[in-house]
Amino acid sequence: MPKRYQQRQEAKIDPYKAQPLPLDRLVAVYYRQSSEGQIGNINTTLQTVDMVEHLMRQGWVRDQIIMIDRDAGISGTKKIAERPGMSYLHTLIENGEIGLVASQDVDRFFRDVTQIQTNIFIDTCRRNNVLVLTPTFVYDFAHPTQGRYHMQMFRDHAQRAADHLEYHIKGRLMQARDYLKVRGIWTGRSVAIGYMVDLREKLSDGSPNPKHRRYVPFQPCADVVLAYFKLFREFNRNLTRTWRHIYQHGPCYPENFEELVPQGFKVDVIVKYRGLNGGLLPSPSGLEYMLTNVAYIGHWSYRGVIEQWHNHEAIVPEDLFMYAFNAISKVDFFWSAERRLFTASGLCPA
């Protein structure tokens, strides 16, 4: 029997050239911000509007571009399955529905110290021949000669992003922030309703401001907070009746509180509940939290521990606060302070 030879197969991919962009296939834009406070900043524009325009300049039309923006305010350290946007993107890639995914930078995809999620993503893109595009590079994990190099480049970028988060953000910056927080200095967290933060470094006479970045009463809301404590006592410690009375009759927070804040001060009134007459008021759980928040008698707490006693001016008399606190809290008022002393001495676990 004569020997049979197979016809030589032409390589589909030139081993010495980059693949052309898959302009005939759908493309996804992946957007992620680490915190809600970053949403809407200049980085959001770079990741969304500018990236879409960049893809259209490459040859795609708007109808071919899928915007994935479900991970606003979600950390890149989370797993693929824990991020709605990344999970959706992973499904699109696995099902072969897109030919390319674009993002502003590799750190938008992952800040994974273990590299486990990064490698899962790389392998999924490689198996489905999906390119990854950033403004400075196109990663082709399936390329016959450059694929491994592109994989390592992607891993290196993700690793640097994870290292930056781990050692710089969580290490140096957060340690410095913790140092200030335990000393009763505001560093950016939410401000208790009824207070404002004094951001003036110097007073009008040029002298240093001793209350810089500390709480001072914001009277338009402080008066309302004090009224809530008095109502709780009036209704004999009944939290449900107290809230219902506030819902039906008030008092409520001012609508124009931002206009009432003096220059050089900051408030953070984020209230969504409205009463029967349309006025702003705390939710039932918000009221409960308020009635046990030691900030209202001038103490400063951090991570459940009272760090600074008499840190700022109180807006609720101590006897009135203790009346509410003892009625609601399951923990003794002085437990936090005692726990801190015992922990520091090594007599009890943290």
**Residues 17-39 pLDDT 10s:** 677 899 999 999 998 865 444 33
pLDDT of residue 212: 86
**Residues 287-333 pLDDT 10s:** 998 999 889 999 887 767 777 888 899 999 999 999 999 998 876 65
**Residues 210-236 pLDDT 10s:** 888 889 999 999 999 999 999 999 999
* Distances 49 to 43, 73, 92, 137, 210 between C-alpha atoms, Å: 10, 18, 21, 19, 44
Q: Three-state SS string across 204-241, please?
A: CCCCECCCCCCEEECHHHHHHHHHHHHHHHHCCCCHHH
| Domains present along the chain, CATH in parentheses | 27-167 (3.40.50.1390), 195-345 (3.90.1750)
Residue 350 CA to residue 334 CA, distance in Å, equals: 16
pLDDT band at 108 (very low <50, low <70, confident <90, very high): confident
Reduced to 3 states (helix: H, G, I; strand: E, B; else coil), residue 72 is strand
What mean pLDDT value characterizes the chain?
80
Residue 103 CA to residue 120 CA, distance in Å, equals: 17
pLDDT value at 272 more than 90: no
Higher model confidence: residue 132 or residue 186?
Answer: 132
pLDDT of residue 130: 95
* Distances 344 to 129, 183, 303, 337, 341 between C-alpha atoms, Å: 56, 16, 15, 11, 5
Give me the helices (H) in the chain, please: 42-47, 49-58, 84-94, 106-109, 116-127, 147-163, 174-181, 219-234, 239-249, 257-260, 284-290, 318-328, 335-345
Instruction: Name the percent of the chain lying above pLDDT 70.
Output: 76
With contact defined as beta carbons under 8 Å apart, do 45 and 35 qualify?
A: no
pLDDT value at 205 more than 60: yes
Which DSSP category does 166 fall into?
Answer: I
Q: What is the mean pLDDT of residues 166-171?
A: 47
A 10 A CB-CB count for 179 gives 11
Residue 195 CA to residue 19 CA, distance in Å, equals: 59
pLDDT of residue 342: 40
pLDDT band at 98 (very low <50, low <70, confident <90, very high): very high
pLDDT value at 168 more than 50: no
pLDDT of residue 225: 95
pLDDT of residue 93: 95
Residue 127 CA to residue 193 CA, distance in Å, equals: 53
Higher model confidence: residue 114 or residue 131?
Answer: 131
Q: Is 225 exposed, middle or buried (0-12, 13-18, 19+ CB in 10 A)?
A: buried
Q: What is the mean pLDDT of residues 191-201?
A: 90
pLDDT of residue 44: 47
pTM: 0.49
Higher model confidence: residue 251 or residue 338?
Answer: 251
Higher model confidence: residue 226 or residue 343?
Answer: 226
With contact defined as beta carbons under 8 Å apart, do 242 and 229 qualify?
A: no
How many alpha carbons fall within 13 Å on the CB side of residue 191? 24
Residue 64 CA to residue 55 CA, distance in Å, equals: 10
* Distances 172 to 108, 167, 177, 241, 316 between C-alpha atoms, Å: 22, 7, 9, 47, 37
Sheet holding 27-33, edge to edge: 65-72, 27-33, 100-102, 131-134, 137-139
- Which of 47-51, 266-270, 275-279 shows the highest mean pLDDT? 275-279
Place of tokens 């979600």: 74
Enter the tokens of residue 267. Answer: 């408030």
Closest Cα to residue 128, out of 77, 94, 81? 94
Number of residues that this document lists for the chain:
350
